[in-house]
Structure 1
Amino acid sequence: MNNKFYQLESQKQMDIINAGIEYFARFEYKKASTEDIAKSAGISNRLKLNGKVELYDIMMKF
């Protein structure tokens, strides 16, 4: 699990989760890009997301 995600302020966490929901809904899991999700949330992809599996797991907890 990416501890950097949990070190972010709660609003930024929600921005990431909301962007993930939007992209997974629009492009389905296979075609959704973590790079696009990160860009939409206003974060650096490499700093905060370790892939779709981890993002999906985080989203399921919320």
Structure 2
Amino acid sequence: MFKWLSLITGFFYIVLGIVVIIYKFFVVTLEPTIAYPLGAVLVLYGIFRIFRAISQLKKNKDE
């Protein structure tokens, strides 16, 4: 269950990162110099969570 939740959370982080980049808003209005790096970090973290969840799902499937 945790692995599937981690997969879904990764997708939400990617969407949140894209929203921050496009709308430059994350709880407060952000300057572009802050919005772009924050959005990029959120997208990268989402990709990391998805990759980790998929690798753990494959690992459990092999066992």
TM-score bin, normalised by smaller chain: 0.3 to 0.5
Structure having the larger proportion of residues in strand:
2
TM-score (norm 2): 0.35
Larger radius of gyration: 2
TM-score, normalised by the number of residues in structure 1: 0.35
* Structure with more contact order per residue of length (Cα contacts < 8 Å, sep ≥ 6): 2
Q: Which structure dedicates a bigger proportion of its chain to helix?
A: 2
